[in-house]
Structure 1
Amino acid sequence: MPSNKKQKEPKDAAVESVEQSSKPSQDMASKTNDSKTNKPDDVKKPNPPKPPYIVHRSRDGLKLIKSFHLEDNSVCSKEIVLVKSEDKDDRVENVCCSEDGEFVAWCDKNSIKCLRFDSQEIVFDQPNDTRSNCLAISPRSTKLITFNTMAAGDNLHFWDLTTQKRLTSMPFKKASQWKPIFSMNEEICLQHINSELVIYTSGNFEKPKHRLTQLKVNAFSLSSASFEPTQTCQHIYNKRVKHKNHYIAIYSVGVKGGPSIVKIYKYPNMVDCVTNKSFFKADSVKFSWSPSGSSMLLICQADFDKCGKSYYGEQSLNYLNVKGDSYFVKLPKEGAISHIEWYPSCDQEMFICVYGLMPAKVSLFNNKCEVMFNFGDQGGLFNETKFNPFGNLLAVYGFGNLAGQMCIWDFEKKKLISSMKVPETTGIEWCADGKHLLTSTTAPRLRVGNGFRLWHYTGSLIYENVGHSDPNQNLELYDVIWQPRPNLYKRPKIDSKATSHPNLISQSKLSKFQGSAGKYVPPSERNAASMTKPSYMNSAIGLTAGNRPIVGLESLTLNNTTKAGSRKAKKNKGNPDKTDKGQQQASAT
């Protein structure tokens, strides 16, 4: 072969080596040479995905923080300021991210804007003449919805995100239900208006395609809708977009002593229900669909507990699926249901439930509503859980009014990986890579110590940015959100190796909270570790305060001991041996 011939590409060389290895006439030397040309180092490795941004909204404005800098292995070292607020008039009212991770939208009193993450390009910019203070992006990033909670008249607006054209405006009264519910493929859009369910199709919001009027609608839920928050099931985003079956669950309160009812319809047939279930103890319900959209959990809440066990009413958990099966989930421990969460998979149906009086139980159930495993048996106070996007790591934590203990579990092996204490925490989110977590303290829930921290699942604190404990010097932080990055990362391998970033827990404000609490020491003894422990009961001088007897109570202990000895002697009057022993004890005292 001529020496000036270009070297073949690694892919061609690999194919050639396979063809040559199939020929029996080749010797071992040629096979060895071919294998040397096919080293893994010769094949170009794909570039690692860009780390997700952190959306940071505070009193000072809105900015994007680059979470991990691959060039120098730094954390949160680069910021992009989008809005800088000088006073209350130009403060950012709200912010949201699109479910596909392409856009971030925000609004203030002057304008409504939307930016593309990758190119930092403003793709939507309109004046906020409607004074909207809430906004949302449809699942496929084609529509932008804005809402004004304080205005009458046309306060709900639909925009085309590409053309920046306002599609329609309409009045909406219930601020708690303002957000329209889109299916993941945006085929249908649902709204709850005046006890009726209104369904729009094909992006036409001028006139509804269907209107459910034969049943009074108190609440509803769509099986193919987005999850809240959107980071929960982002690795199955493409699968859920392809779902063509849309099941709609309708809840109607019972009238004149009749039972409440839940009916499930399969769109577009809104006349005949697929399945239904009646409840006598259900003044309100909470729906939770599985990621596959074929099963759902119902938390039924009764306002009054007739048994008088709870001041807050009575709760029950029920399981339904579209095949018509239904189960009453029997919880082994009495108490309120704090949290339920489905395993993020379209193939396996399991769910976590946090229930019972404190310390609450954290149990894993299968689709037959049978307990498979208990996560909270190792001790601790927990009220919520959160799966990473891939479902192989589970965070079990107690935030809000609890002490802030957080445990990370290997879900597949049911093994505890790490445990840390993060007090005064109001929010937690998993990163799209499935290995890092973000914990935050935000206003208005707490107005002191606002900030956020980044953690590795092994328990290492890799970044901390926490404000002052003085409310006058504290930076009010309103939102800290991971950028969703669906179908970009691979399922992480779980091991106990520490991250490449240094662990900052020893330098953090949290260092004093880590480890066991130890034995409780009364306040009077905390500053007297070097002194002799005071004796509160001294048989010689009676009750004491420290080493000094309390005036008037010197003989209290002695009299009690003498009386106890005399009573014991009367009791053992018929037994000389016991009487002698009682007299000896009394004389000793």
Structure 2
Amino acid sequence: RDMFVLRHGTETELYWSDQGRPELLYDGAREKVNGKQWCSQYVAWSPLGTYLTTFHPQGLALWGGDSWEKTARLAHRQVNVALFSPQENYLITSNGLEGDNGIMVWEVATGKLLRGFPLGTKGHNAPLDTPFKWSADDKYVARRGKDAISIYELPSMKLLDKKSLKADGVEDFFWSPAGTNTLAYWAPEATNSPARVSLVELPSRREIRQKNLFNVADCHLQWHPSGGFLSVKVTRHSKSKKTLFTNFEIFRTHEALVPVEMLEMKDTVRAFAWEPKGSRFAIVHGENASRTNVSFYDCNGGPRHNEVTLLYTETEKPVNALFWSPYGNNIVLAGMGELNGSLEFWDVDERQSISIQDHFKFSHLEWDPSGRVVTTAVCQPINNFNAKYTMDNGFNLWTFQGKLLEEKKKDQFYQFLWRPRPKSLLTDAEYKDVLKNLKKYVKRFTDLDKKREKERLAAEEAQKKALVESFRARVAELKAITQARRSRYIAVADGYDSQDEDNFVVKTTVEDVIISQTEEVVRQ
């Protein structure tokens, strides 16, 4: 079973999700007994789901274990950002305030402060969403500086080789999410120098690929979850700088010499998303924001299975956001914001729409880790009241086929987060083997699901039966009490029983009441 956490009003609640049926697990009962509120701000899960993080004015608290006890407390006043390393060994906290300890790096297991940093936003390019970024294996954490990227080793928090990585004009950077420690960064055009994207291998600092780009207005880098591909969305301008157009540079990072393919888009690109399992990606594009096109591509297409190939395009869709299932193939084509919450559940392999639904003005969409349930939610900011966000607060649970499982309205609804699962123990080869022999496993797991459902229904039936028996026993008890009182009343009234029907005369009266009357003139 999967689990999710809710934040609404003063409540923080953990629920099990059994095929989309919520079952309350814990709601901060221990804290309530002591007159305390479990959490007054947002919450966050660690990447593998081991810890639930709660934010407080004094700092952070980490919760875990079967009974959700507090496992750590980290003091950092007015903290509002918590960034776990991918393997959950370390944690960065930030309060967004200038000072020597605006950013702190912690060791999770011991709660030890490894190092503090000033926020350091002055004098650099536009601030990044995440000032520090972790490598996939927790060995390094990096931070952008002026014309350099500072890479620190863990747990010493000392500069790698005692010097920063030179990166003239660096605007943003991203670690590969899997595989070798590869860092990709881009830098805009400078005097006599084109814009460029560079891939650097760590700790050797060897540049394994560089691509120069011209007439660049902006770049956006996005790794495939496997680390095998890197997409660079390049927004270019014409020589007059009056017209913008987009193309994608696709880097194949697992191949020798890292070949790069260019995909040119003729119209405005509005969204891009990699398929988590596989080699496909989807793009939303079109000039009309309310009726866009959705194109699906495969990086392993073509005769030799090594070319970016267009699979097909769906036209005239009210879509501006893409949400792939964690296991690929299924995708939700969503219309958020001004598109008022349209949802189309799509099967990419079969090239067909499974279901079209809507959740008016939803602000959050998230798949559960199993890929079987989708959540849409209307949330409001926790510290920034705005009347337009307070309407229809709550969440819906859907099957991956678009069938509504649950609809819950919650006033002052702030947050819905699925608990992440630990990484699979299967290798990629074993995972592919399971997919190949899926039919072999389907019957076994279908039987297990049926057995579990049968047990659930039997438990519900037993509970209902117990309630009925309890009710009948209570009725019999009250009847006995009433009969005893009646005997005493008759004795007090010299044998007269006011409840005996033979002491009453029943008269039946019939009364006609005219409810309405209509007159019609009939021509003779």
**Shift, 1:257, TM fit:** 5.4
What's the offset of the Cα at 1:296? 0.9
What is the Cα deviation at residue 329 of structure 1?
0.7
Partner of 1:301: 235
Matched pairs, number: 411
The Cα shift of 1:217 comes to 1.6
Structure 2 counterpart of 1:247, which letter? T
In the alignment, structure 1 segments of 5+ residues that lack a partner are 1-50, 225-239, 468-474, 502-589
- Residue 281 of structure 1 deviates from its aligned partner by 2.4
Aligned to 1:64: 14
Correspondence list, 1:433-452, <5 A: 433-444=370-381, 446-452=389-395
1:369 aligned to 2:308?
A: yes
Q: Pick from 398, 414, 417: which aligns with 2:351?
A: 414
1: CA distance between counterparts of 2:21 and 2:408?
Answer: 14
Percent of matched pairs sharing the same residue: 19
Distance 1:127 1:349 in 2: 43
Q: Is the counterpart of residue 357 in structure 1 residue 267 in structure 2?
A: no
Give the alignment's Cα RMSD to 1 decimal.
3.4
For residue 456 of structure 1, what is the aligned residue in structure 2? 399
Contact 2:293–2:317 (8 Å) recurs in 1:
no
Per-residue Cα deviation, 1:266-301 (whole angstroms, up to 9, x for no partner): 22232x421211122223211111223132111123
Q: Deviations over 1:156-194 (max 9, x none)?
A: 011111111111111123464444221222122211133
5 Å-filtered alignment, 1:277-426, equals 277-302=211-236, 306=240, 308=242, 313-322=244-253, 323-331=257-265, 333-335=266-268, 337-345=269-277, 348-358=278-288, 359-367=291-299, 368-374=307-313, 376-377=314-315, 379-426=316-363
Residue 459 of structure 1 and its aligned partner are, at CA, apart by 2.2
CA contact (8 A) 1:56 1:479 kept: yes
Task: Give 1:406 deviation, angstroms.
Answer: 1.0
Aligned amino acid, residue 296 of structure 2: L
Deviation at 1:135, TM superposition (A): 0.9
What secondary structure sits across from 1:458 in the alignment? coil
| Matched ranges for 1:513-528 at <5 A | none
Aligned to 1:268: 203
Corresponding residue SS for 1:330 = strand
Query: CA shift at 1:314, angstroms?
Result: 3.8
Pair 247,100 (structure 1): closer, same or farther in 2 beyond 3 Å? same
Q: Does residue 1:106 correspond to 2:54, yes or no? A: yes
Structure-1 residue corresponding to 2:143: 191
Offset at residue 422 of structure 1 (A)? 1.5
Unaligned runs of 5+ in 2: 122-126, 300-306, 382-387, 426-433, 455-524
Q: Which amino acid counterpart does residue 426 of structure 1 have in structure 2?
A: S
**Structure-2 change in CA distance of 1:99 and 1:296 (3 Å):** same
- CA shift digits 1:449-502 (9 cap, x unpaired): 2211111123221212224xxxxxxx33332100011457998999xx9x989x
Letter in 1 for 2:334: Y
> After superposition, where does 1:197-212 map in structure 2 within 5 Å?
197-209=149-161, 210-212=163-165
Given that 1:66 and 1:78 are in contact with CA atoms closer than 8 Å, whether structure 2 keeps it comes out as yes
The equivalent residue for 2:104 is: 157
Shift of 1:206: 4.1
CA distance in 2, matches of 1:120, 1:194: 43
1: CA distance between counterparts of 2:54 and 2:83?
Answer: 9
Are 1:95 and 2:43 matched, yes or no?
Answer: yes
Greater mean deviation of Cα atoms: 448-457 or 298-307:
298-307
Return closer, same or farther for 1:77/1:170 CA change in 2, 3 Å cut-off. Answer: closer
Q: Could you tell me the TM-score, scaled by structure 1's length?
A: 0.63
Contact 1:59–1:91 at 8 Å: present in 2 too?
A: no
**Residue number among 473, 477, 483 corresponding to 2:413 in the alignment:** 477
Q: Who is 1:223 aligned against?
A: 176
Cα deviation, residue 389, structure 1: 1.3
Amino acid at match of 2:285: Y
Q: CA deviation at 1:102?
A: 1.2
Equivalent residue, structure 2, for 1:10: none
CA change 1:293–1:139 in 2 (3 A) is: same
Looking at structure 1, the residues matched to 251 and 52 of structure 2 have their Cα atoms a distance apart, in angstroms, of 36
Once residues 414 and 117 of structure 1 are traced to their aligned partners in structure 2, the CA distance between those partners, rounded to angstroms, is 43
1:535 paired residue number: none
Q: Secondary structure at the match of 1:93?
A: coil
1:44-93 deviations in Å (ceiling 9; x for gaps): xxxxxxx222122234243222333x8xx943445423777x99x99633
Amino acid in the other structure paired with 1:340: F
Deviation at 1:440, TM superposition (A): 0.9
1:126 corresponds in structure 2 to 74
Closer, same or farther: CA 342–437 of 1 in aligned 2, 3 Å: same
Distance in 1 (alpha carbons) for counterparts of 2:88 and 2:200: 27
Residues in 2 aligned to 1:194 and 1:108: alpha-carbon distance in whole angstroms: 33
Q: Is the 8 A contact 2:318 2:339 kept in 1?
A: yes
Cα separation, 1, equivalents of 2:171 and 2:44:
27
Query: How far, CA to CA, are the matches of 1:450 and 1:290 in structure 2?
Result: 33
* 1:97 Cα offset (Å): 0.9
Structure 1 residues 187-232: Cα deviation after superposition (integer angstroms, max 9, x where no partner): 22211133420112232214444511253322111113xxxxxxxx
Q: In structure 2, give the amino acid aligned to 1:479.
A: Q
Alpha-carbon distance, 1:424 to partner: 0.4
Is this contact kept in 1: 2:365–2:374, CA < 8 A? Answer: yes
Equivalent-residue separation in structure 1 for 2:38 and 2:11 (angstroms): 8
Q: Deviations over 1:93-118 (max 9, x none)?
A: 33221111111112110341001153
SS of the residue 1:401 aligns to:
helix
Task: Tell me what 2:3 maps to.
Answer: 53
- Check 1:457–1:349 CA distance in 2 against 1; reply closer, same or farther (3 A cut): closer
Indicate how the Cα distance of structure 1 residues 257 and 449 shifts in structure 2: closer, same or farther if over 3 A, else same.
farther
Q: TM-score, normalised by structure 2?
A: 0.71
Q: Measure the CA separation in 1 of the matches of 2:96 and 2:156.
A: 24
